[in-house]
Structure 1
């Protein structure tokens, strides 16, 4: 297998894990491919963001902006299967009801939705919808939000430790380690999206994401000793909301 073919295998492993988009029949799936597919998380996010923007553009031709945002969001939930939203709900339930790392992980493994998870989903989805409606250029916001948020999530794999107690979790991360080269590959789509934003809003977005990442890393280390698959999903959701909220501010308004 040459280098290009291997990279295509890794890309489709990431894309099919995060979405319901089918891969070609020749793609090889396995633990090793999944472990190194993390380099393409942000690229998968870019594709999801482009899909969200396309859906919004189509629906905006027929409906008011509020309805177009709702329909676009619903379409992306179907495309991704609510993968990251599930991680967010599990983390809210675990961190809300657990006192020890073991108890927290046990709650997070439970497939049932608890009150903390339901409240977390309502707040985050509500913030997404409300902020997107307030942004002038929703298309750029969607592309940047989906891409940058997945880069923030994947960066945790490079710097933090995977919680070994989470081995039996129903949502496991694609990778438990990430090299510097893989992180650089993952950085490319994120940098490209930053160029889409107005110059005066780029610094605000970067600052907000860095602060959010710092807080979440400290929280995960203190409560669990590292990250889990649910932590990555929750990080993606919160980072996406952070991008939209910054772009709602007068300084970051698109």
Structure 2
């Protein structure tokens, strides 16, 4: 009887714990907002791999600073801004940016810069993955066919993407985006602007702010861009290509 009662209590405790964890579990949206039922604030998403997992292409120290300092700051600043206007709580980053003209004047610039930074970086971590074999990666599946159709070949697309990223003046991003008509194109944005501000969906993008590469590549942005292809997660890029418009 004592054993049965003890088992019953353990079972009840486990069930209660599981329910609690379920209620608090976070759900990742495409825009990078992590939310819980009781906490609508934006959260810094964890890296989907270890800090040193992208070496030798992206070094551990850069990933630590980039994720834990830069991205974390965008999340904090965005939450601080939204806290001034409680009616905006619960909106996704995409919703905020797509209705930027309706955002109150006192936080509009902050939301644009830090909301864009949060959105861009959440995508950035996900479209990269470790390459333990150290072999060049090629796109597969639907995105490979779409790239060939739009640019002639993967090599031509890669050359155009790298060239645009190298020539982006100052800080910013280089993107492969999809328009509502399904057309693909390479574009760039300054600072942390997201392509969704231009009604374009970002399929993949590379961060060309100096903080993304300077510790390892110094001023050799072109070398960083060429090396970055070794860690592109084409499975995730394919998912994003299928997911919108």
User: Normalized against structure 1, the TM-score is what?
Assistant: 0.29
Higher RCO, Cα 8 Å, sep 6+: 1
Query: Which has a greater percent of helix?
Result: 1
* More strand by percentage: 2
TM-score, length-scaled by structure 2:
0.30
